[in-house]
Amino acid sequence: MTAEPPSHTALVRRARRIDRELALLYPDAHTELNFATPLELLVATILSAQTTDKRVNMVTPILFSRYPTAADYAAADRDELEKIIQSTGFYHAKTNSLIGLGGALCERFGGEVPPRLRDLVTLPGVGRKTANVVLGNAFGIPGITVDTHFGRLARRFGWTTSDDPEKVEADVATLIPRRDWTALSHRVIWHGRRVCHARRPACGACGLARLCPSYGEGPTDPVVAAKLVKPGPFS
């Protein structure tokens, strides 16, 4: 006989308990990218694709002082911009995105970053993940950021069975109150970076062990697991 899948009510209850526990574990969880304005966060998030926040934070001080406005990106000298962001990887594509982004912001949004998902996703280099990061962290509009960590942990928590970030976002939105989406995203990503790794999650050292349906996916021996924990910071 196979066990009945948990009811939606049971899933909601467990998801909220996991989020409360994450809030205790990471009361200070926040984006690890440095920024002061919506434009800076948008640019930093575009640069963060396929690299670490730490690497991005190393190039953004000079980048932000050289290109303070959308018009500056639109008019950027390609070679100079590529040189500044080279160490973040994929710099040809990222340079195209930043120059295109500056142009699109100037042409369609008066040089300002628009505070709406449906506008943000029309910008070069901006998908739903980047848009939700900017909405949640620069504008205070709740957003669920499904990056590689969030997707993996949502599946391990039983919040979704999907690999499609948009479906993951929609599934989690039915479990967690809207006002908590941005903070939840930070907590889950922090836990993914520090404890619940893609390979060998540190189950035996995990504060969610008694709540997580995937407990045992990694080593449960506390001494072995403790060695797998990466304390951070990652910025």
Closest approach of ligand SF4 to the CB of residue 171, in Å: 17
- In the complex with ligand SF4, the residue whose CB is nearer, 101 or 205, is 205
Instruction: Please give the Cα distance from 125 to 224 (Å, whole number).
Output: 41
Q: Is 129 a catalytic residue?
A: yes
Q: Which of 149, 156, 186, 194 binds ligand SF4 (CB under 6 A)?
A: 156
Closest approach of ligand SF4 to the CB of residue 146, in Å: 17
Question: For 140, left (φ over 0), alpha (ψ -120 to 50), or beta?
Answer: left
**Residues 186 to 205 in contact with ligand SF4, rule: CB under 6 A:** 195-196, 201-203
74 phi/psi in degrees, rounded to 5: -60, -35
Question: For 89, left (φ over 0), alpha (ψ -120 to 50), or beta?
Answer: left
Would you count residue 217 as binding ligand SF4 (CB under 6 A)? yes
Q: Which of the stretches 66-74, 91-99, 131-139, 214-222 binds ligand SF4 when contact is defined by CB under 6 A?
A: 214-222
CA 17 remoteness from chain centre: 21
User: 61-64: long-range contacts (C-beta < 8 A, 24 or more apart)?
Assistant: 61/34, 64/36, 64/40
Would you count residue 235 as binding ligand SF4 (CB under 6 A)? no
Q: 60 in helix, strand or coil?
A: helix
Choice among 72, 147, 163, 180 that is catalytic: 147
Positions touching ligand SF4 (CB under 6 A) are 156, 195-196, 201-203, 206, 208-209, 212, 214-215, 217-218
Active site residues: 129, 147
